[in-house]
Amino acid sequence: MVESRGKRVPNFTQNQLQKITTDIFEAGGVPSDEAEIIGELLVASNLAGHDSHGVIRIPQYIGLIDSGLIQPGAPMHTERESTSHALLNGNWGFGHVIAQKAMSLAIEKAKSSTISAISVYNCNHIGRIGSYPLMAAEAGMVGITMVNAGGTALYVAPFGGSDGRLATNPLAIATPTRNGHPILLDITSSVVAQGKIRVAFNRGEPVPLGWLINSEGEPTQDPRDLMESPQGALLPLGGIAGHKGYALGLMIDILGGALSGAGCSGSGNTRLQNGVLMIVLDIANFTALDDFYEHVDGLVAHVKASPTAPGFDEILAPGEIEARQTERRQREGIPIDDETWRQIQETAMEVGLSELKF
């Protein structure tokens, strides 16, 4: 049985955690329909094992509402539009809500135009970006999402640099498959997401070598070197080939920030936002879906047939770990560490919920 106060918290069910999240945001002034979307997407991140983008964000988002940086219920405006594209002004509403609407629009436009592109600015943090191309994959299309941080959240050192100059600038691509489990690439252009450091910080755990450098540019395993001052930096994806992750991050900064007008790293912006680019391709207008699935199934079977290297039991397709983790956590429950739970309870008290009911 889950104890909401005073004792170590065991695993939550999906429904319990969604209710907790929705209740807190509704109490914090978020319209109920938006609170439900946010609850679903945050908990979906926890289900997939991406705790860095799950309910650990509740205190952060409530703090942004309190400071006026998130405007719950703000209307999204279309500033430029054609049959295949749109530029959207999110008016500083909830990023998850804006991004879900933007991807829905991209899917609808791709149905008539084959390819669509949606760019968004004045949009708060949209969470785990893999959630949005999955919407396209579930509609039988290819979905692509990339975001920058509008010139803020400069956590990532450029290749050869010693301080943060870029955001983590993630990229996600999803394609449908015949078996219903999409192939999903969901990566940051840094070696790891900043939220992973936040999780380790809350748990009081070290991080692997190769993730961080301290403020002197030296390798470190202490998450405090990023979460506290003087601040170090995340390293770009790629290790000794980090120039590749750095180049990827730079291009995402341009496509997410310059194209939308949200701004790029170094712009001097101080208000956190995601500059978003979403692209959708309607597969059926290129090739028959059955033919596409045959190619994809053959490719996956081909790579999985590789003899495993020492220390590995099998070859996995991108997104397969998350799909298995989702099934496992739906069955066994979602673990929340003590410090994150303490922060969630504290946030609930701040918005007037003396006791969480679930």
Q: What is the pLDDT of residue 195?
A: 87
Give start-end residues of each CATH 1.10.1530.10 domain in the chain: 1-73+333-358
Distance CA 101, CA 90 (A): 10
Residue whose tokens read 């770009």: 236
C-alpha 129, offset from chain centre: 4
- Rounded to a whole number of angstroms, the CA Rg of the chain reads 20
Alpha carbon 63 to its chain centroid, in Å, reads 19
For residue 57, give the amino acid letter: R
The pair of three-digit structure tokens given for residue 209, joined into one six-digit string: 């070598």
Mind listing the pLDDT tens digit for each residue in 207-224? 999 999 999 999 999 999
So what's the pLDDT on residue 2? 45
Which of 59, 93, 64 minimizes the C-alpha distance to 198? 59
pLDDT one-digit tens code per residue, 5-54: 444 556 999 999 999 999 999 999 999 999 999 999 999 999 999 998 99
Determine phi and psi for 185, rounding to 5 degrees.
-90, 125
**Eight-class DSSP state of 65:** H
CA 21 – CA 54 distance, rounded (Å): 10
Note the pLDDT of residue 199.
Answer: 87
Start and end residues for every CATH 3.30.1370.60 domain found in the chain: 74-182+245-305
Architecture (CATH level 2) of domain 1-73+333-358: Orthogonal Bundle (1.10)
Answer yes or no: are the C-beta atoms of 168 and 157 closer than 8 Å: no
**pLDDT value of position 302:** 97
Is there a contact between 175 and 137 (Cβ–Cβ < 8 Å)? Answer: yes
CA distance 153 to 269: 10
Which segments of the chain have a pLDDT < 50? 1-7
Task: Scan for tokens 């969470």, then name that residue.
Answer: 127
Cα angle 101, 74, 133; round to 5: 20
Are 44 and 85 in contact by the 8 Å Cβ rule? The answer is no
Q: Residue 357: its pLDDT value, please?
A: 82
Whole-model pTM over 0.85? yes
Q: What CATH number was assigned to the domain covering residues 74-182+245-305?
A: 3.30.1370.60
Q: Which residues of 222-240 are buried (b: 16+ CB within 10 A; e: fewer)?
A: bbbbbeeeeebbbbbbbee
Residues near 45 by beta carbon (within 8 Å), at least 6 away in sequence: 51, 52, 53, 54, 127, 128, 131
Phi-psi region of 352 (alpha: psi -120 to 50; beta: other; left: phi over 0): left
> Which residues lie below 8 Å from residue 99, measured CB to CB, with a gap of 6+?
120, 123, 126, 127, 129, 131, 132, 145, 274, 276, 278
C-alpha triplet 93, 195, 107: angle, nearest 5°? 45
Q: Which residues contact 223 (CB under 8 A, 6 or more apart)?
A: 197, 198, 200, 201, 205, 206, 207, 212
